[in-house]
Structure 1
């Protein structure tokens, strides 16, 4: 389980819209959004299952730039959710980085799918349960 993670994005409005669509099949919604009036320098949005944001995106600001290599895996409870995430992410503009399927080199029940988000971050949904 991931408590929370975050990435810096090049185009905050575009990435916010992307994640609102791509994470919907996982049951994630935008839980919180803060602007420079609160953060002091950047926009940030937290996604998760209310009331707790678990995944944050933030706009670039002084000393922080987008495009760093990041991999984040979201644990889900069914293979159908992995499939739905992959389809939704591609429809929202992601690039395929690994179609839904078993990855037995990790373990026999590892079922995951990978996409590259608008900034090239490797985002995954994974189910560890059989079937």
Structure 2
């Protein structure tokens, strides 16, 4: 059973959001599906990421640290892949929150980066292998 069936997010500008999200999700193995009322990506399972337009223009961006969204972490298989995906995100217009680095405060194996899109939606590329 999937932990999450779908995650829906509201954005100010669907075409601009697609330009930022599609390069990353495509690299992560997701397939984009356009619809009249938004866009979604899935990885061949039930888990789907959905973007829909805001009901009222100018209600964004989300402010990190306020009630609501904190961030979504993608499980990445290596530090090198974290670096590569981080570069793809930056090239697609994501704002760097934290460059790729080790996070020993989490554990000695943790390596991650954080980026934020134009809507204030923050994601993390996290390499966090199991303890040996």
Q: What TM-score do you get using the length of structure 2 for normalisation?
A: 0.77
Alpha-carbon separation, structure 2, partners of 1:2 and 1:87 = 28
Tell me the equivalent position of 1:28: 30
Tell me the equivalent position of 1:17: 19
Match of 1:49 among 40, 43, 56: 43
Distance 1:18 1:58, change over 3 A: same
Tell me the equivalent position of 1:101: 101
In the TM superposition, what whole-angstrom CA distance separates every residue of 1:47-95 from its partner, at most 9, and x where no partner exists? 2312544322111125xx4423431111222222211211001000111
CA RMSD in angstroms comes to 2.5
* SS of corresponding position for 2:10: strand
Tell me the equivalent position of 1:120: 120
Q: What TM-score do you get using the length of structure 1 for normalisation?
A: 0.78
**Uncovered stretches (5+) of structure 2, i.e. residues with no partner:** 64-68
**Uncovered stretches (5+) of structure 1, i.e. residues with no partner:** 36-42
Contact 1:101 1:113 in 2 (8 A): yes
Aligned residues: 122
Matched ranges for 1:47-86 at <5 A: 47-61=41-55, 65-69=59-63, 70=69, 71-86=71-86
